[in-house]
Chain A
Amino acid sequence: MRVVGALLRKELLVELRTLESVPGMALFAVTTFVVFHFALNQNTVSGQEAAGILWVTLLFAAMLGINRLFVADADQGGFDGFLLAPVDRSALLFAKALSLLAYLFVLELVAVPAFALLLLGPPLGQALPSLLAPLALGDLGVAAIGTLIAAMTVRTRARDLLGPMLTLPLLVPVVIGCARASAPLLQATSGDGGVGPGSLPLRWLGTLALYDLVFGLIAYAVFDFLLED
């Protein structure tokens, strides 16, 4: 625990100092929304379309953060420094996943309001609390898989290419789950004809939770093998 804290502190300190990941991710998301406006030639989107645009943009923005996750460690000998310490190696997995979660949180803090402002037709206010559930579950999935794949690809050639190539297929179920779960929330009218957003389909949340659990466990089980030599 103390070790995870020490690692996390170091991670956040480096990120605050360099501001390498988070501002880029947030800016990318906002810019992408603008591009979508022109690409779709629409002023507003709603329902499944809105959910799709939001989640794909968040996913690609997350990729930027994932690509950078272990770069400082690989380039500046951080792996060795950690491996020499008499600590449980899974602590690195937890710390990195937690920091990625923190970055995603800040990303969404910027991107979701930006999305509501720039592209979303129906007002977000009422649906926002329910939207937190798919956001949180989706983030957990991205954090688990993203950290694992980032660790796998950081010490390979063409790591910027391999990272997304490996991560995107693996995250398809997360995209499906989150987009389907949030589609009713972003609708102007709910399914039964009433005014306002629909309700959260629990089936998708269940799928997301299962995915997070399975890949969280797998990441925990195999991570050590990536670190040792």
Chain B
Amino acid sequence: MEELAAQAAPGTLVEDRTAAVELAGLTRNYGERAALEDVSLTLPVGATLVAFGPNGAGKTTLLRVLATLLRPHAGTVAVLGAALPEEAWRARGRVGLLGHEALLYRELTPRENLRYHARLHGIGEERVERQLEAVSMSSRADEPVKTLSRGMVQRVAIARATLHDPELLLLDEPYANLDPAAIDVVEPLIGSASRRTRVLTSHDPGRSLAEADLVLGLRGGRVALLKPSSDVAQQEIIELYK
């Protein structure tokens, strides 16, 4: 328990239950190559993990494994107390993924898209309206997604990812495509203010380091850096990309 408390930033509430994410020796192959190799870490509930690394380092693979979309090939993975892949069904529905793709049907409107996801998750339609309000998209909610700008699409995607009030947020470069005003709008949903456990990937150490409790550096699928954010200097992160 002590190590968990040490990894959380001071002031964060560490609840007395299993960690949000526990990885031990996680390996995921792509043919003969290893997309992820021997990744181990523990993330307490309510904490934020930021993953840095060059493209192809395995950040997206890591998010997709945590989202239960990819099976681990070796090692153990526990997300919100559920062991993957056997108990994936227990974690699904409590995890929200925001990837590079918005996961929205372009011919449908934001409202129709969100209603579809709400029905899949068994959530009422009032929640859809509240989410649209929260990302300031209520006025454009009835236009097909293909007519919206990238920033607007990203906002709707964020509404989708948090629609079911997930305990764990998995965010792949969430602030790309968003202007500062939009970032303020979505902060309560996906930012540190949301009080959810978060794993996000980023290429921007300046901004993300401040939000992080735990910093992960990936290179070639392996862990190159794993430290609490207070011990990490920006220079170390830049080294990862060389």
Contact = CB atoms under 8 A, between A and B. Distances in A.
Contact between chain A and chain B defined by CB under 8 Å? yes
Interface of A: 2-3, 5-7, 9-10, 13-14, 17-18, 72, 76-78, 80-87, 228-229
Contacts of B97: 80, 84
B120 A229 contact: no
Given A84-B95, A229-B70, 4 more contacts: A10-B108, A77-B104, A82-B120, A228-B71
Contacts of A81: 103-104, 117, 120, 160
21 contacts: A9-B119, A10-B105, A10-B112, A13-B108, A13-B112, A17-B108, A76-B104, A77-B99, A77-B102, A78-B105, A80-B69, A83-B68, A84-B68, A84-B95, A84-B97, A85-B93, A85-B117, A86-B93, A228-B71, A229-B64, A229-B70
A84 B69 contact: yes
A68 B117 CA distance: 22
Interface residues of B, number: 29
A3 B144 CA distance: 23
B108 A2 contact: no
B147 to A, nearest CB: 12
Given A85-B93, A86-B89, A14 B120 contact: no
Closest 9 CB pairs of A and B: A86-B93, A6-B119, A77-B101, A85-B120, A81-B103, A77-B103, A86-B92, A17-B107, A10-B116
B107 A83 contact: no
A83 B105 contact: no
Among the interface residues B71, B99, B103, which one has the most CB atoms of the partner chain A within 10 A? Answer: B103
Interface of B: 64, 67-71, 89, 92-93, 95, 97, 99, 101-108, 112, 116-117, 119-122, 144, 160
By secondary structure, the B interface counts as loop
Contacts of B103: 76-78, 80-81
Contacts of A228: 71
Nearest to B97: A84
Contacts of B108: 10, 13-14, 17
Contacts of B144: 17
Contacts of A229: 64, 69-71
A76 B121 CA distance: 19
A190 to B, nearest CB: 49
Nearest to A20: B107
Contacts of A14: 105, 107-108
Contacts of A80: 69, 97, 99, 101, 103
A83 B69 contact: yes
Nearest to B120: A85
A214 B67 CA distance: 34
Contacts of B67: 84
Contacts of A77: 99, 101-104
B112 A85 contact: no
A18 B120 CA distance: 22
Nearest to B116: A10
Contacts of B122: 2
A80 B104 CA distance: 10
Contacts of B92: 84-86
Nearest to A82: B120
A148 B168 CA distance: 33
A83 B112 CA distance: 19
B105 A72 contact: yes
Contacts of A86: 89, 92-93, 121
Among the interface residues A5, A18, A81, which one has the most CB atoms of the partner chain B within 10 A? Answer: A81
Nearest to B28: A229
A94 B195 CA distance: 38
B158 to A, nearest CB: 14
B82 to A, nearest CB: 11
Contacts of B120: 3, 6-7, 81-82, 85, 87
A170 to B, nearest CB: 29
A85 B89 CA distance: 9
A138 B104 CA distance: 34
A13 B215 CA distance: 43
